């Protein structure tokens, strides 16, 4: 039942609002105040959404629409996102605690451009191509077609729901698929707004459906559903493994963007002023709740103390406060559970012998005592075998590891089960690129961080994922390749059928 006096939101299935008997309560991370409720979906709702998506796909109402028309509708959606920027920002920050500056620059600010990129791909992608072939054994024509898979499922995390949702929704729609989006129960509002907006812009009913629900029930059902041909998931590595297992039952296509423990190597010649600010930006943006954050800072022994001193001084100026205030630098973490998890990691680090150079505790913010806050934290005297250096914390916690040689730094950086992103800070670009070439990660940033371009692939090595999102190949993940062979030989004696039929035809 919805709470009296609090706005209630429903799911969006087959072009209509769909309610449930149960609700999720969504609380503002800065205050713990109940802000809205959301219908709590069930397996039955997931099945209803898949059935609607399947029906829409088989009707051809979107899949058979000329690609130019799909592109035009998607461009209208992308432009509407930009026009309704403030509404989308409000939807994000009341749910996930992002500051208004971060939401404007990243959480929502990237959304319109990324969606418009996929609108262009809907028109420019090579859905058909002829392949030159030799005349032996027979003359033929060969064509490769990329066809939509059918029903796709997107399981989206709470930290960047709009942008990370678009990374799945955009290529799915561009390729002609129908899609069912499973939102995280903590942050459903921006994607719910997008689903309704898409419907207003001309996406037919059933093509874009949105459900909520527990991941272990609704997410698991979508991953295992026999009528779902593709699953795109962003989240933890542990859940990603389960998604892969569930999808294997029907051998569906899977794209996984999972956890990270990104290393950044600071070479001895690095500009320390730029590096200090850049490393903090890479680690602590959005309170460190980004899978590709640079959380392991590997610093050469010759500059270690000086760089740590600068980072501590700069991090001490980070202002915690009201996420809606433009003067606020860092907001709360998303939930009480997340705060307690981060505190537990910090306590274990202290017990393991790491030194607290800054922070190291939960924080209290005046006027927001009910919220879930963590101090900007820097640990030194960290070794790569410590739990805090090996596991994803998802908080504003930087660990600094000292190294002696570049070879040693590369070995430490690659000594991880993750491989999503990595980076190098240096004024010697050739040396930085040489180091970057040896790092095992899907994206390497040199002298910057968080630079994500929709035209370039994003994804991880090792247990950071499978497949790639974004880039020219993004639609490959949402299409099936079909080879069409047309033999041009008209004379029986020119065929090679005699491999089987040795007796000449009469």
Q: Which residues are catalytic?
A: 257
Nearest CA-CA partner of 368 in 101, 33, 36: 33
Residues 240 and 248: their CA atoms lie apart, in Å, by 12
Where does residue 372 rank: exposed (0-12), middle (13-18), buried (19+ CB within 10 A)?
buried
**Would you list the DSSP string of 195-247?**
HHHHHHHTPPTTTEEEE---IIIIIHHHHH-TT--EEEEES-HHHHHHHHHHH
The structure tokens listed for 444 are: 């390497």
Please report where in the chains the tokens 């956890």 appear, as a residue.
259
The structure tokens listed for 367 are: 């006027």
Using left for φ > 0, alpha for ψ between -120 and 50, and beta otherwise, residue 6 falls in: beta
Task: Please answer whether residues 396 and 288 qualify as being in contact, where contact means their C-beta atoms are separated by less than 8 angstroms.
Answer: yes
Interior/surface letters 204-215, b for 16+ CB within 10 angstroms, e for the rest: bbbbbbbbbbeb
Query: Computed from CA positions of residues 235, 238, 239, 245, in that sequence, does the dihedral angle turn out positive or negative?
Result: positive
- For residue 417, the cross-strand partners are none
């Amino acid at each position: 039942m919805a709470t009296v006096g609090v706005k209630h939101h429903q799911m969006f299935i087959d072009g209509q609002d769909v309610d449930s008997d149960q609700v999720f309560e969504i609380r503002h991370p800065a205050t713990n105040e109940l802000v809205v409720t959301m219908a709590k979906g069930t397996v039955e709702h997931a099945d209803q959404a898949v059935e609607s998506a399947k029906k829409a796909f088989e009707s051809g109402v979107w899949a058979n629409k000329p690609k130019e028309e799909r592109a035009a509708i998607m461009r209208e959606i992308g432009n509407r996102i930009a026009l309704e920027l403030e509404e989308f920002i409000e939807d994000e920050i009341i749910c996930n605690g992002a500051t208004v500056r971060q939401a404007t620059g990243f959480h929502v600010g990237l959304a319109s451009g990324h969606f418009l990129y996929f609108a262009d791909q809907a028109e420019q992608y090579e859905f058909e191509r002829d392949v030159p072939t030799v005349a032996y054994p027979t003359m033929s024509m060969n064509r490769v077609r990329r066809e939509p898979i059918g029903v796709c499922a997107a399981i989206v995390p709470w930290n960047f729901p709009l942008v990370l949702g678009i990374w799945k929704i955009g290529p799915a729609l561009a390729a002609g698929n129908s899609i069912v989006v499973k939102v995280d129960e903590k942050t459903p509002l921006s994607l719910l707004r997008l689903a309704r907006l898409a419907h207003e812009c001309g996406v037919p009913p059933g093509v874009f459906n949105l459900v909520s629900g527990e991941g272990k029930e609704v997410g698991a059902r979508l991953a295992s559903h026999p009528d779902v041909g593709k699953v795109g998931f962003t989240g933890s590595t542990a859940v990603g493994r389960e998604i892969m297992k569930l999808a294997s039952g029907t051998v569906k296509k899977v794209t996984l963007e999972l956890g990270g423990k990104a290393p950044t190597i600071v070479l001895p010649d690095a500009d320390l002023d730029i590096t200090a600010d850049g490393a903090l930006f890479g680690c602590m943006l959005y309170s460190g709740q980004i899978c590709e954050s640079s959380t392991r800072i590997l610093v050469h022994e010759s500059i270690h103390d000086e760089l740590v001193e600068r980072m501590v001084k700069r991090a001490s100026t980070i202002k915690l406060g009201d996420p809606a205030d433009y003067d606020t630098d860092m907001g709360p973490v998303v939930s009480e559970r997340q705060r307690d998890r981060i505190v537990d990691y910090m306590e274990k680090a202290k017990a393991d012998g790491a030194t607290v150079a800054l922070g190291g505790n939960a924080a209290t913010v005046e006027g927001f005592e009910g919220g879930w806050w963590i101090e900007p934290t820097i640990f030194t005297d960290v070794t790569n075998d410590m739990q805090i250096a090996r596991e994803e914390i998802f908080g504003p916690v930087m660990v600094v590891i000292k190294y002696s040689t570049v070879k040693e730094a590369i070995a430490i950086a690659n000594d991880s089960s993750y491989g999503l992103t990595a980076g190098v800070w240096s004024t010697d670009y050739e040396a930085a690129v040489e180091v970057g070439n040896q790092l095992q990660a899907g994206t390497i940033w040199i002298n910057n961080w968080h630079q994500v371009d929709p035209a370039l692939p994003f994804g991880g090595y090792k247990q950071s994922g499978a497949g790639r999102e974004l880039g020219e190949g993004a639609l490959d993940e949402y299409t099936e390749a079909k080879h069409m062979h047309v033999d041009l030989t008209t004379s029986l004696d020119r065929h090679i059928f005699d491999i089987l039929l040795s007796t000449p035809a009469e």
